[in-house]
Amino acid sequence: MKVKFSKGATEDAYNVRKTVFIDEQKFKLDKDEIDDRAYHVVIYDDETPIATARCFNKKDKEDEYIIGRVAVLRKYRGLKIGRELIILLEDKIRELNGKSVELSAQLRVKDFYKKLGYVEYGDIFYDEYCEHVKMKKIL
């Protein structure tokens, strides 16, 4: 497996996200204005992009970051690749002097994030008809 970081989203990141969020989960939107300022990580199996995620700091708080757009192709789920994505981004956030991380977890995968030390807070909310919960971790 190979890992690539970039500032700004790459076509490889978009392709993984499109497959997972639009084709599979039927979300309507994926690209946004945050992509250009976020750090993106893509994991490859040989030359094939198989997983991606991004992180960016909150505009009003330089040491608080958000992780999002965590996507692993179906064939590669259950192999701890999602865990690797989170660890890679947490390391990047520490390198950038980040002190905490927040994310919006799809309710069905919140236990995945709990195992990585994230704590849920607030009410359940909907993003494109999918239940989510906010989660946070102090680094």
pLDDT of residue 31: 81
CATH number at residue 70: 3.40.630.30
* pLDDT, tens digit (0-9, with 9 covering 90-100), for 19-53: 999 999 999 877 888 999 999 999 999 999 999 99
CA distance 30 to 113: 21
Query: Quick one: which H or E segment has residue 122?
Result: strand 119-127
Domain ranges, residue 36: 2-138
Say if CB 72 and CB 51 are below 8 A apart: yes
Both tokens assigned to 97: 């002097």
Predicted confidence band of residue 9 (pLDDT cuts 50, 70, 90): confident
pLDDT of residue 30: 74
Say if CB 53 and CB 90 are below 8 A apart: no
* pLDDT, tens digit (0-9, with 9 covering 90-100), for 76-123: 999 999 999 999 999 999 999 999 999 999 999 999 999 999 999 999
pLDDT of residue 49: 97
As for how many domains the chain has, the answer is 1
In this prediction the pTM is 0.92
Q: Which residue has the tokens 């999918």?
A: 130
DSSP state of 23: I
DSSP state of 37: T
Say if CB 64 and CB 35 are below 8 A apart: no
